Structure formats: structure tokens, C-alpha cells
Amino acid sequence: MIEPFDDVHFMKKALQEAEAAFEKGEIPVGAIIVIDNKIIARGHNLTETLTDVTAHAEMQTITAAANFLGGKYLKNCTLYVTLEPCQMCAGALYWSQISNIVYGARDEERGCINLKTKLHPKTHIKGGVLEDEASALLKRFFIEKRNLN
Amino acid sequence: MIEPFDDVHFMKKALQEAEAAFEKGEIPVGAIIVIDNKIIARGHNLTETLTDVTAHAEMQTITAAANFLGGKYLKNCTLYVTLEPCQMCAGALYWSQISNIVYGARDEERGCINLKTKLHPKTHIKGGVLEDEASALLKRFFIEKRNLN
């Protein structure tokens, strides 16, 4: 069966956002939000550019998707994000009541799974989609950053 | 000893922000951020007005304080907030490395303490400052809201 709009398709779009962050010297994390196979929000990490710890990719896409929908709840929406959400972003996703979270790479230290951030009972979460690509981009960023300092 | 700039003084300013939220029909939570006894950011809950679950009082003051300071870390800063921060806001405060969090009322169900959100090791947190006033304002809001529906 051909599935043109599967998780890999959408995670590639989130990876494009992560690459845009990389080009700006930002830790490369990207996100998109999808409803009915349509992308309604895109964002990438802008914490350095905006001098703002709250400017994670997920936070921006949550705000943008709510703006698009005209309502603050993201029911029937799926967030695709290249890195497992942190406590802040998972906390925002809790409030949004989003239906699905799909992430790429695990974040063992600062991710919401090991830190046990509470998600909304209606939210499903799964990881590992294009994990290698997402991890490789993050590793390349930190290697280049180390070599510059 | 006269302490004109004690916790009660600053929490009263946060309560003024909570009252501003109340007047807008928002769940009444207010926050300020202080450095060297100077208020550098004020904010109140605007989730309904902005149709955005991320528009909590704390999130706005974190962004505003970083903007004022020209740096994203809130070292030597104190957040005064009328209600115990949620997971999202505590997660943002973790990233900010803020020195102190002072809250008014407890949030047993959705607050960061019972949900065990990780704070930065450099962050001190204490609660109960003008707790009765903060709680009374929240109770009044929910009673009025119930009577309107």
C-alpha cells in the first residue's frame, strides 16, 4: 500500500526545519504540526536568535497551530519533532491536549520520558522515526561547535 | 528592621497582575521578575485572549526579562508568581537557570511539585507568600465563571 503521508514523510519536513536551525547556529531541532495530512505549523529552535529559552521548535509550532485553527486545543493534531520534547514542551503539549506526538531522537537526559513529564491522557507518543538522521544532525552540530571554540 | 522590598511587597505586584488577568476573564495568575530589588518584567495569564496554551504569566515574564537583560539566563533573578508553576513553566524556568522562584498558592493537581518537574540545581523554590489572597482570587474567578454558565 502506498502511503504518501506517513510518519517518515512528515518527519522529513521536521528535519528540514532542524536543518534551518543548524544554518542559523541553533541547536538543530525542528517541528511541524499536522492535521488531516496537512501541515499547519512549522518551526525550529530559535533560542539563540531570540535570546529566549522558551523559543523551542515545539513551542513555536504549538502557538502557530492554535493561531491557524483559531482555538487553543490541538485535538486531532500530530506534532512531528526531531528530538524528544523537554519538560517545558511536553508541559505545553499537555495543555494543548494534542492527539499525537512523534519524535525522532531520544533525549535521555532532558527529555520528557525519563523526566516523567505528565502528558494529557488523550495524547499518544512514539519515537524513533528517522532517529539516525536527527541524531546525526545534532552530533554534527556539537562537533562543529566544539571545533570552533 | 524595615524591609521595603521583601517577598510580600513583590508578591503584591504579582497579585496586581493576577487581578488584571481576572478583569480580562482569564484564570487569574500573575507574575513578575525581579533583579536587585527592581522589577524587570510583569505578566499575567493570557491564554484565552491569545488563544494560546503557552501564554502563561511565567512564560511571558521569562521572555520579557531575558529581553530586558539581553541574555537568556535569568541568574540572580527571582520570579514571583501567584500560583505554583505548572510543568511547562517549571520546565522553562529550568532552562532559564533562574535563582529563585517564590509562589503564592499551591497547585496540588497540576503544579510542578507534585508532578516532580525538574528544576535547575541552582534554583531555590518557596511557596505560601500571600497564599490566601492568591487562592481567594482564583476561587472567586471559578465561582463567578460557574454562575455565568
To the nearest whole number, what is the mean pLDDT of chain B?
A: 96
User: Pick from A57, A110, A109, A54: which is nearest to B72 by CA?
Assistant: A54
Partner A contacted by B91 (CB < 8 A): yes
Q: Per-residue pLDDT averaged across B94-99, rounded?
A: 98
Cβ contact, residue pair B54, A63, below 8 Å: yes
d(CA A49, CA B95): 16
Residue B69: pLDDT over 80: yes
d(CA A57, CA B50): 19
Residue B2 binned pLDDT confidence (cut-offs 50, 70, 90): low
Q: Which residues contact A108 (CB under 8 A, 6 or more apart)?
A: A114
- 3-state secondary structure (DSSP) of residue A54: coil
pTM of the model: 0.96
Interface A-B, measured as beta-carbon pairs within 8 A, has a size of 93
Contact assessment for residue A27 and residue A41, using Cβ atoms and an 8 Å cutoff: no
Interface test with A, best of B26, B46, B50, B54 (most A CBs within 10 A): B54
Residue B147 binned pLDDT confidence (cut-offs 50, 70, 90): confident
Cβ contact, residue pair A96, B72, below 8 Å: no
Cβ contact, residue pair A117, B90, below 8 Å: no
β-bridge pairing B38-44 and A100-105: unpaired
Partner A contacted by B87 (CB < 8 A): yes
Residue B52: pLDDT over 80: yes
Q: Is B77 annotated for ligand binding?
A: no
Rounded to the nearest angstrom, the minimum Cα separation between A128 and chain B is: 23
Residues of B in contact with A90 (CB under 8 A): 87-88, 91
Q: Per-residue pLDDT averaged across B20-41, rounded?
A: 98
How far, in Å, are A49, A116, B25, B85 from residue B77 at the CA level? 22, 27, 29, 16
Identify the helix (H) or strand (E) that includes residue B87: helix B87-96
Running DSSP on this structure, what letter comes out for residue A17? H
Residue B3 binned pLDDT confidence (cut-offs 50, 70, 90): low
Rounded to the nearest angstrom, the minimum Cα separation between B84 and chain A is: 14
pLDDT, tens digit, for every residue of B98-144? 999 999 999 999 999 999 999 999 999 999 999 999 999 999 999 99
Cβ contact, residue pair A88, B92, below 8 Å: yes
Cβ contact, residue pair A88, B70, below 8 Å: no
**Residue A146 has what pLDDT?**
86
Higher pLDDT, A100 or B3: A100
**Residue B1 has what pLDDT?**
60
Low-confidence stretches of chain A (pLDDT beneath 50): none
Q: Per-residue pLDDT averaged across B58-66, rounded?
A: 98
**Residue B87 has what pLDDT?**
98
